[in-house]
């Protein structure tokens, strides 16, 4: 293991310094550093990632932070600022899929995945803090994983490129946590940049930054957290993925990425009705991602509203991953001035996004809150997000 980075070489951000101080109080020693990784909003491109397609997420200005200190033994001590959960202790030598519960499965999964790659991961003390909303579809779990993998990459001197860290965190998700997710969330968190979305080809990890700044266009991007909790490690997500794999097999292609909109007529005659709808969503969503990138580059964010609307309709009707709260949020936002809105994330709950003129922001916020109250739903949390920098050391 290489020497730990010199904390004096960094100008710690205030939140990082506060976390480092809290780490010192909790563990009795100073951390080697503090690292953070952002959550993400997927602007468009849902359930296309594991079909080797295109996605357009961006890192947001809400992040998970970890203060980390290496240990001389193989023990791991994990503590979170969230709630009164106490310190969780584990041994590196006992890590295996299914051996961890709660939030600790994300850092432990990353450690397991890195060790599976042959990286000499030491025991560590770790303190987690995060302001990424839990269960809102903003990838709070991947933010934790990306912060941890960034920290361990630095501390071990492994020299992993972003692409390698993406695959390590995907393995942690798939094989340790047990969630059959793709690579979109990690890629946004690790490769994001301020003022840009990440146009990612999930087949080969080729990524390019696309300008996405709402302020010059007098727009804001509202996130409407419905407070409906969702989980990727459940049957709904897995069944959608199985339908996609079946569709690709019947159509004789490696992945649904290889189908074009013009192939859907043939697909309708070969697939059962449910599988066809799943396939139609993925194929048309890929097309919408490409169109969104073209419009952002040529005309700016004011030109993508109709594509966001079409994406939500496809997820609601063809992929069937929306819910009444998400539909109400989207419909109400659109009716009160948003130029486009859609659910974001894996579905079955979580958040919607609404691209909204600054002049209509307060009207949209008020209307959504009122609509949820009338429907008897839990009050939503509504806030704005902006594209932010990706995972990095901050203290």
Query: pLDDT per residue over 124-165, tens digit each?
Result: 999 999 999 887 778 899 999 999 999 999 999 999 999 999
Q: Is the dihedral of CA 17, 19, 23, 24 positive or negative?
A: positive
- For the full predicted model, state whether its pTM sits above 0.75: yes
The catalytic position among 125, 154, 164, 185 is 185
Which tops the pLDDT comparison, 231 or 101?
A: 101
Query: pLDDT per residue over 48-84, tens digit each?
Result: 999 999 999 999 999 999 999 999 999 999 999 987 6
Which pLDDT score, from 0 to 100, does residue 118 have?
97
Which pLDDT score, from 0 to 100, does residue 288 have?
98
**Residue 331 among the catalytic residues:** no
């Amino acid at each position: 293991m290489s020497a730990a980075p010199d904390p004096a070489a960094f100008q710690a951000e205030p939140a990082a310094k506060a976390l480092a101080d809290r780490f010192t109080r909790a563990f009795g020693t100073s951390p080697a550093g503090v690292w953070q990784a952002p959550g993400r909003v997927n602007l468009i491109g849902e359930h296309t990632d594991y079909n080797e397609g295109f996605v357009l997420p961006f890192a947001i200005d809400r992040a998970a932070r970890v203060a980390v200190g290496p240990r001389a033994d193989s023990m791991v001590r994990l503590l979170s600022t969230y709630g009164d959960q106490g310190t969780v202790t584990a041994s590196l030598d006992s890590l295996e899929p299914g051996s961890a519960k709660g939030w600790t499965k994300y850092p432990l999964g990353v450690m397991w995945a890195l060790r599976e790659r042959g990286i000499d991961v030491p025991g560590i003390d770790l303190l987690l803090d995060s302001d990424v909303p839990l269960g809102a579809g903003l990838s709070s779990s991947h933010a934790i994983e990306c912060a941890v993998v960034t920290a361990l990459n630095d501390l071990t001197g492994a020299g992993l490129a972003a692409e390698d860290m993406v695959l390590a965190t995907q393995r942690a998700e798939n094989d340790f946590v047990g969630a059959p997710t793709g690579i979109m969330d990690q890629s946004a968190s690790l490769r994001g940049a301020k003022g840009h979305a990440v146009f990612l080809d999930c087949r080969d990890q080729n990524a390019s930054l696309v300008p996405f700044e709402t302020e010059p266009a007098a727009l804001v991007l509202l996130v409407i957290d419905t407070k409906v909790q969702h989980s990727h490690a459940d049957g709904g997500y897995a069944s959608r993925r199985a339908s996609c794999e079946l569709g690709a097999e019947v159509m004789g292609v490696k992945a649904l990425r290889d189908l074009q909109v013009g192939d859907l007529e043939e697909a309708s005659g070969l697939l059962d009705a449910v599988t066809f709808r799943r396939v139609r969503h993925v194929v048309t969503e890929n097309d919408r991602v490409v169109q969104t990138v073209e419009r952002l580059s040529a005309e700016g964010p004011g030109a993508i509203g109709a594509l966001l609307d079409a994406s939500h309709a496809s997820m609601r009707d063809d992929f069937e991953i929306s819910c009444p709260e998400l539909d109400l949020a989207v419909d109400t936002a659109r009716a009160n001035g948003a130029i486009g809105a859609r659910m974001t994330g894996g579905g079955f709950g979580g958040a919607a996004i609404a691209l909204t003129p600054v002049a209509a922001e307060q009207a949209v916020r008020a209307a959504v809150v009122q609509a949820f109250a009338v429907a008897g739903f839990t009050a939503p949390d509504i806030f704005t997000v902006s594209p932010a920098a990706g995972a990095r050391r901050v203290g």
